[in-house]
Amino acid sequence: MMNPRMDHEFLSALANSTNGKFFYAPDYDEFINILKILTKKSPTEKIKTSEISLWSNEWLMVLVIFLLGIEWFLRKRAGML
């Protein structure tokens, strides 16, 4: 943080070496236009989510409680609790 100013030369060299573009603040119109073009070209993704209610199945709930009870009993008997 010795020199907090923006290094224009470094940023433009970095943009050139990575096939990017460097814009100055007054050129924000060109920057916005390029962003619009890039967002039109970018593929859209659809995310499909589904919820599974774990406790809607009574037998599954009974099985989980039963298995946890057995584990608790075995640990208690082995002196692990």
SS3 54: helix
Angle at 49 (CA atoms; ends 45, 50), nearest 5 degrees: 160
Is 63 a domain residue? no
pTM: 0.43
What is the per-residue pLDDT for 65?
Answer: 93
What is the per-residue pLDDT for 54?
Answer: 67
pLDDT band at 60 (very low <50, low <70, confident <90, very high): confident
Domain count, the chain: 1
**Residue 15 structural domain:** 8-41
Is 21 a domain residue? yes
Is 1 a domain residue? no
Is 36 a domain residue? yes
Is 34 a domain residue? yes
pLDDT tens, residue by residue, 21-47: 999 889 889 999 999 998 888 777 888
Is 61 a domain residue? no
Nearest-angstrom CA–CA distance, 67 and 70:
5
Percentage of the chain surpassing pLDDT 90?
Answer: 41
Is 81 a domain residue? no
Is 19 a domain residue? yes
